[in-house]
Amino acid sequence: MVNIEGATAVVTSGQRGLGKALTTELLRRGAVKVYATAWTPAAAPDPRIVPAALDVTSPESVADLAARAGDASIVINSAGMAMGPALLTADLRDVTEVFDANVFGPLRMAQAFALVLARHGGGALANVHSVLSWAAGAGAYGASEAALWSVTNSLRLELAPAGTQVTGVHVGHIDTDVTAQITVAKNSAAKVAASIVSGIEAGETEILVDDPSRYYKARLSGPVQALTFDPELPLEGTTS
């Protein structure tokens, strides 16, 4: 388990959407500093928030952040592309772009921060996935989320000798600017952030934020036809 009180954290895409909610929640729980990243970071009104430039698809940018945030004991990867093309008709360069952001980006962060976290007793690494890690039907985006789930599970084993806690997060639609045009039920970003921070502090290896995530996780042992994503599925655990 990792104490939030007194901790320093890194939140990728920490100045908008879920990342911004995570930054707020970490500070509410007693974190003393949060490096909140963005491609072009804006000034923060709270002195505990350190705006930091980051492009997760750039090894140099990730390395620069790790050098700057050497005091971090918690890293939360929430940055990524929220959409992707259909697989059959896609230009593979577009598929590669999605994987570069959603899979290789968090992996770059894990590689760059492994020693940083180890110096702080192991610390915690959390990757935000999606219910689409398990539910088919979202083309390159869903495939990238499934790949990230596997990466997270492997990182849990590889980082265990350093004492690093690795947590995977699964959640359905989140109410942010990115999903503003989607009319299905959505989780509030604040609720999701609270679930993630609570799970990290409790030492959970996997956080299933809502009923959609629990629904599809429970069907992994059944026929694959049951894993076709239905965005209109009337499940509780979301807020519109």
User: Residue 162: is it exposed, middle or buried by C-beta count within 10 angstroms (0-12/13-18/19+)?
Assistant: middle
Domain assignment present for residue 79? The answer is yes
pLDDT tens over the chain, length 240 residues: 799 999 999 999 999 989 999 999 999 999 999 999 999 999 999 999 999 999 999 999 999 999 999 999 999 999 988 777 889 999 999 999 999 999 999 999 999 999 999 999 999 999 999 888 998 888 999 999 999 999 999 999 999 999 999 999 998 866 555 645 655 566 778 999 999 999 999 999 999 998 889 999 999 998 888 888 777 655 444 433
CB of 56 closer than 8 Å to CB of 47: no
How far apart are alpha carbons 209 and 239 in whole angstroms?
12
Give tens-digit pLDDT for 220-230.
998 888 888 77
- Domains in the chain: how many in total? 1
Domain assignment present for residue 235? The answer is no
Full residue range of the structural domain in which residue 170 is found: 8-227
Domain assignment present for residue 223? The answer is yes
Domain assignment present for residue 240? The answer is no
Q: Please tell me the pTM assigned to this model.
A: 0.92
Domain assignment present for residue 236? The answer is no
Domain assignment present for residue 171? The answer is yes
How far apart are alpha carbons 229 and 235 in whole angstroms?
13
Domain assignment present for residue 174? The answer is yes
CATH of the domain at 125: 3.40.50.720
Domain assignment present for residue 234? The answer is no
